[in-house]
Structure 1
């Protein structure tokens, strides 16, 4: 749960790359919302590896 809405790059077994943020995480799946707004569901047993990216902190949002 702590990785919800965290940016990532995920590579699947077929060497497909998905870039976006996690949306939903279930027992056997991960939903990724891509930079283009498209939602993709990936089964956990098909994930090769995940490269977690650092979150960008917007100082302007903190001031409000």
Structure 2
């Protein structure tokens, strides 16, 4: 989980940004990832706290 304030500080360092900016960009990420389609979830909102990336991640091009 990444807190909203921490996320905003990392994305927009030294710049004042409204919390609505974060909401707009998280929404764009969800659309790009097709979050919520076909039962797939990638980004989950933790109300009042922040966001969590919940999908499994694999490194591409690696053989076992």
Looking at CA atoms only, which structure, 1 or 2, has the larger radius of gyration? 2
> What's the TM-score, normalizing by structure 2?
0.26
> What's the TM-score, normalizing by structure 1?
0.26
Per residue, is there more strand in 1 or in 2? 1
Per residue, is there more helix in 1 or in 2? 2
